[in-house]
Amino acid sequence: MSSQVRLTLIAFLSYMIMSGLLTQAGVILNAIAAQLDMSAARTVSIFSWLTGGALIGTLLSMYLYTRFSVRRLLITTYSVLLLLGLALPFLTGAGYSTLAAVFLGLGVCCGCGLSGGAVIISRIYRAQRRASAFIATDCAFSAAGFIFPTLAGWLLVRELDWTLSYLAVASLAVIVLSLAATSAFPDTHHATSTAGNDEPAPERETALMQFKRILTPRVMCFAIGVCLYLIAQTTFLTWAPNYLMAYFDAQPEVAGQVVGNYWGFSIFGLLTSVVLVNFIPTRIMLLVVSGIAIACTTAFLLIESVETFLTLGLAFGLLTTCIYKIAISVGTQQIADSPPMLVTLMLFSGSIGSTLAPVVSGLVVDSSDEKGALMLALTGFVTMLVLFITAMLLERLAKRQTLPEQSQPESV
């Protein structure tokens, strides 16, 4: 196995581990609530510690990967993650604070690991293949989103402890550690010329200069839209199983299928979107799939059959998972040359959405019921679409204003 293949597998596994921990939320929520003797609406906030940890890990990585080697950081990160995973089965009697601390640690490790995977891909693939590699990491994320919630549901049906499903995810860290120990990593501490020659890279903008340049209304519309997408998506996946159990008396193993259905078919949606963006303008495609997300979420609130709900869950994952990547793609086109901080801002906005979703949805359910969570998801998708349309209108207005200036003859 070549070193490039080994490094690519590390990147894919880093996304699978994050997905495996996060996408089980809706399946294992009631089991954790029973362990803590709390309501599901209050217990769901524990997943904010996981997503918040990932946010912290991502921020720390901006500094750590400029100071230490990728190999050292990955080995340290996934060693800690493995130890935390092994500790979980021994914490079945632990309280909320202890579990929250473990979830925070797992999240920090995932955030650092995801950043390491992104660094690897950006170094070992040229620009032509880099986009495909990043799409493939999304496919790995979706695959784990199908495998591990399904495994969690299977374990709960057999009255086994929910921590075993998290332990199964942590076991992937063993593979990462073995690959990291036997792979040759690229040098990440030396800049190279973007022109592809041996000339030194040009002086880059300072972080403050980039930050000032990207603070435009169009960029903020897309950043907030990405945040709202993750809030809506995470809210739906967290509370859809509970909604089915509360309103349709569905069994836990049946209700949990909606999460596996969503992520399982999202893989095909991501692969299809790679082809479609070559034929359909990305802005039009973004508006269409956002409209589909609104239509599906509205249908979920009106459906009166568990079977129809689960079937629509397949279509929901197939048709709307691409919103995140397309929104980031269009959002990064709002500033000339797409400075690195612009991409970071979009990813950071998504992380904020994932972090806020459990807390916000928990408050909504606590003040209403599980149907309120689905209405929150619908509101998020609608607001997201309004922001995307606003940004595109501003973009078109800016182009119209620049065209007359460009068409004026130069003075002699």
pLDDT over 70 (residue 204): no
Q: Write the secondary structure of the chain as one string of H (helix), E (strand) and C (coil).
A: CCHHHHHHHHHHHHHHHHHHHHCCHHHHHHHHHHHHCCCHHHHCCHHHHHHHHHHHHHHHHHHHHHHCCHHHHHHHHHHHHHHHHHHHHHHCCCCHHHHHHHHHHHHHHHHHHHHHHHHHHHHHCCHHHHHHHHHHHHHHHHHHHHHHHHHHHHHHHCCCCCHHHHHHHHCHHHHHHHHHHCCCCCCCCCCCCCCCCCCCCCCCCCHHHHHHHHCCHHHHHHHHHHHHHHHHHHHHHHHHHHHHHHHHCCCHHHHCHHHHHHHHHHHHHHHHHHHHCCCCCHHHHHHHHHHHHHHHHHHHHHCCCHHHHHHHHHHHHHHHCCHHHHHHHHHCCCCCCCCHHHHHHHHHHHHHHHHHHHHHHHHHHHHCCHHHHHHHHHHHHHHHHHHHHHHHHHHHHHHHHHHHHHHCCCCC
Q: Quick one: tokens of 297?
A: 């979420």
Higher pLDDT, residue 157 or 402: 157
Report the topology of domain 1-185: Growth Hormone; Chain: A; (1.20.1250)
pLDDT in tens, 6-57: 998 998 999 899 999 988 888 888 888 988 888 888 888 888 899 889 888 8
User: Rounded distance, CA 398 to CA 390, Å?
Assistant: 12
Per-residue pLDDT band for 81 (boundaries 50, 70, 90) equals: very high
Per-residue pLDDT at 411: 40
pLDDT above 70 as % of the chain? 86
* Of the candidate ranges 57-61, 65-69, 201-205, 323-327, the one whose mean pLDDT is the lowest: 201-205
Classify the phi-psi angles of 159: left when phi > 0, otherwise alpha if psi is within -120 to 50, otherwise beta. Answer: left
Higher pLDDT, residue 246 or 274: 246
Per-residue pLDDT at 159: 85
Per-residue pLDDT at 288: 95
Token match 């039009």: residue?
Answer: 284
* Of the candidate ranges 78-92, 134-148, 293-307, the one whose mean pLDDT is the lowest: 134-148
Per-residue pLDDT at 201: 43
Please, are residues 183 and 10 in contact by the beta-carbon 8 Å criterion? yes
pLDDT in tens, 344-376: 677 778 888 988 898 899 899 999 889 999 999
Token match 């967290």: residue?
Answer: 238
Per-residue pLDDT at 352: 87
Across 259-286, average pLDDT: 84
pLDDT in tens, 108-153: 999 888 888 877 876 776 644 655 676 677 788 878 888 898 899 8
Selecting from 3.40.50.1950, 1.20.1250.20, 3.40.50.880, 1.10.10.10, what CATH number does the domain 208-401 have? Answer: 1.20.1250.20
Residue ranges of the chain assigned to CATH 1.20.1250.20: 1-185, 208-401
Per-residue pLDDT at 109: 94
Cβ burial of 182 (10 Å; 0-12, 13-18, 19+) is: exposed
Select from 27, 58, 23, 25 the least CA-distant residue to 266.
Answer: 23
Select from 295, 299, 297, 306 the least CA-distant residue to 246.
Answer: 306
